Chains A and B, each alone.
Chain A
Amino acid sequence: MLETLKKLIALPGVSGNEEKVREFIYNRINSYVDEIYIDALGSIISVKYGKWRASGCNNEAVPKVMLSAHMDEVGFVITAINDDGTLKFQTVGGIETGILPGKKILLGNNVPAIIGCKPIHLQEKEEFEKRIEFKNLYLDIGTTSKEESEKFAPIGTYGTFEQQFTILNGGKISGRALDDRVGCAILMTIIECGEEFWNDVYFCFTTMEEIGLRGSKTVAQNIKPDIAIVVEATTCADVPGVEEDAVCTISGNGPALTIMDRSTISDKNLNNFIIKAANSNSLKYQFKRLVAGGNDASSIQRAGEGCRVASISVPCRYIHSSQGVMDKEDMFLCKELIVCTLRSLENTGGKIC
């Protein structure tokens, strides 16, 4: 799974521009699934049919399960080119400006660019005491004219933080786009291990989550699942300077279940079913302890006639920055928990309640 994650992180895939990630995932999984296609918004919808089909069970009674991870990451897009060759840009998805100055990003076909701003030596006191404003940032690709820059990075070119998958001490790994390549890696691993489950399981890799949970809306409308589990990376603030009650999740304490975030109240019955699977298999887990953030579960829950949703997330420090940090074990346990939940469905005729 770590190798898969490393390869996924190496591919650029800013919201709306996920081709390379999509191609990689599609080519890897398509021989393991029964059906696979790409929808109009670029999301991959694949399905592994369930064991119920061979058992002579009634179709109506076996709930459709959807597992979902988003392929896109937060990043940048070029909006204008200045006469001196520097580039104006905007963020795609939520990125805090404070972390940007001095970072190296990669544009288009790996054109390196540095995020520049006025050096501190030349800033007025008021300027450097407050948070840098976006309008004071620009990209420097080393060119000296507009014409030159247009050859390397025309308007509309996408950019990503430079990828650096690194293994840290203590079982931690770091890299850009852990949100949500970790979810993609987990789903790919489950598909490729070849296990069959009772229910039909739809493995979906969605687009444009970071800019408004968009890809998942049409995917869910298409599939009309009864049960959906979103596999994500989530806020983890177990770091210095954060009050205990604002920590949200702790890295190393296992995958995190969401009770409620800003855009979804998880289905209680589904959460309880997942918890039961965790306990029966002695898997550690934690709860997300802050009502913060939102993910694809929100649009999936409300698609069509509605769906029972839950989220299982890997705690990720410094999420939405150039490099997140997560715990290897949390990732493995997240995958285990999903698999154990799917296996438990066999004992209940595929239902959670």
Chain B
Amino acid sequence: MLEILKKLVHANGISGNEECIRNVIIELLCNNVDSIKIDNLGNLIAFKKGKGESSGRAKIMIAAHMDEIGVIVTYIDKKGFIRFANVGWVSPFYAMGQRVKFENGIVGTVFYEQKVENMDKLKLDKMFIDIGAASYEDAANLLKIGDTAVFISDFILQDNIIISKALDNRSGCLLAILAAQFGNEYPNDIYFVFTSQEEVGIRGAGSAAFGIQPDLAIVLDVTDTGDVPGCKPMEITMGKGPAIKVKDGSYIASPHARRLFEKIAIELKMPYQLEIMEGGGTDGGSIHISGCGVITGGISIPVRYIHSPSEMCSTNDIKLGIELLTTILSTPLNEYLNNV
């Protein structure tokens, strides 16, 4: 499981440029699903047909976004320094002093214009990437406007803690991949959708949901925690189990979904937490209002330091998350969903 996660975090895939991570996921899944499709927005839609009569099978959509945050080249100056913009929410403080790696392997240091007087007001447009080029020509030979880069970070496993970039949301992708690989037959039809462009505004998921029109959508993503010094109060603690979504900044989870997930967690005698994330958005935001509306719930992995190159999560939460997800999917849901 951890080998797969390592592979996923190292496969680059900034919003709008998800080819690499998409190909890695296709390779991992292709023998476990019945069909694979890539839509106009780059969403990867892998379909696994359920067993039994088609009229008795519920249509479930699993959504896990495969894109990550990064930076994009906007300008190369006369001396070969690179100006950039964020792709997704990138904090200038998290980015300061970090290394970034472009698709062609070139590495650079992110730094700021030292004439900035007030560090409180530090913004990305007062920062630049230095790839060590001697001139504009040198830099332009290597990079061009529109090239994207990810932050560099090693994948570290320490006891049962993982430190890495892109746990948001390769950990969610991991859950989806393992659920697709698990067993041979579910009693429901399942669309495993690895969505694109979530980090720039939950853009891919709505279109995918529109095409599928599922009976139930389960969004797999990460959630903030309330267990580090000086943080905003929040009930989530890393290591205390997967979080079942109540609401985040972009949607209120359907009570029908939430109750179902809680019931199953209780039956499994599994520790779980309830997630209320005041800010932030996830694919559920666009899925639940797509088409005529979709019953949408979420299972989230608690992650500390989200959107930094050193995100942190617990392997226990991941293992329990997989167990919860596969148990939900293994439950025939047609009758339950028809009666809500």
Listed in ascending order, the chain A residues whose CB lies under 8 Å from chain B are: 226, 244-246, 259-260, 263, 265-268, 287, 289-291, 301-308
Contact = CB atoms under 8 A, between A and B. Distances in A.
B75 A226 contact: no
B227 interface: no
A259 B145 contact: yes
Given A246-B125, A305-B210, A306-B41, A260 B85 contact: yes
A307 B16 CA distance: 13
Contacts of A265: 15-16, 87, 197, 200, 203
A305 B72 contact: no
Nearest to A225: B40
A268 B201 contact: no
A267 B196 CA distance: 12
B41 A301 contact: yes
A260 B75 contact: no
A303 B39 CA distance: 13
Contact of B203 (A268, A301, A304): A301
Q: Which of B40, B85, B87, B125 has the most CB of A within 10 A?
A: B40
A304 B210 contact: yes
A307 B40 contact: yes
Contacts of B145: 259, 287, 289
A304 to B, nearest CB: 6
14 contacts: A226-B40, A245-B83, A259-B72, A259-B145, A260-B146, A265-B15, A265-B203, A267-B40, A291-B72, A291-B85, A305-B40, A306-B207, A306-B211, A307-B40
Given A246-B125, A302-B207, A260 B16 contact: yes
A306 B39 CA distance: 8
Interface of B: 15-17, 39-41, 43, 72, 74-75, 77, 83, 85-87, 125, 145-146, 197, 200-201, 203-204, 206-208, 210-211, 286
Q: Is the interface of A mostly helix, strand, loop or mixed?
A: loop
Contacts of B210: 304-306
Contacts of B206: 302
A245 B72 contact: no
A130 B5 CA distance: 54
Contact of A290 (B43, B85, B86): B85
A302 B72 CA distance: 22
A228 B87 CA distance: 23
B203 A291 contact: no
A226 B40 CA distance: 8
A155 to B, nearest CB: 34
B74 A291 contact: yes
B212 to A, nearest CB: 9
A298 B273 CA distance: 36
- What are the 9 tightest A-B residue pairs by CB atom distance, in nearest-first order? A265-B16, A306-B207, A291-B85, A259-B146, A306-B41, A305-B211, A245-B75, A306-B40, A245-B83
A245 B77 CA distance: 7
Contact of B207 (A266, A287, A305): A305
A303 B41 CA distance: 11
B229 to A, nearest CB: 34
Contacts of B286: 302
B39 A263 contact: no
A259 B87 CA distance: 12
Contact of B87 (A260, A263, A290, A306): A260
A260 B71 CA distance: 11
A289 B73 CA distance: 9
Given A260-B85, A260-B87, A268-B16, 13 more contacts: A244-B75, A245-B75, A263-B201, A265-B87, A289-B145, A291-B74, A301-B203, A302-B41, A302-B206, A304-B210, A305-B207, A305-B210, A306-B39
Nearest to A287: B145
B207 A260 contact: no
Contacts of B204: 306
B207 A304 contact: yes
B200 to A, nearest CB: 6
B41 to A, nearest CB: 4
Given A260-B16, A305-B39, A289 B74 contact: yes
Contact of A289 (B16, B75, B87, B208): B75
A259 B146 CA distance: 6
Contacts of A308: 40
A260 B72 contact: yes
B203 A302 contact: yes
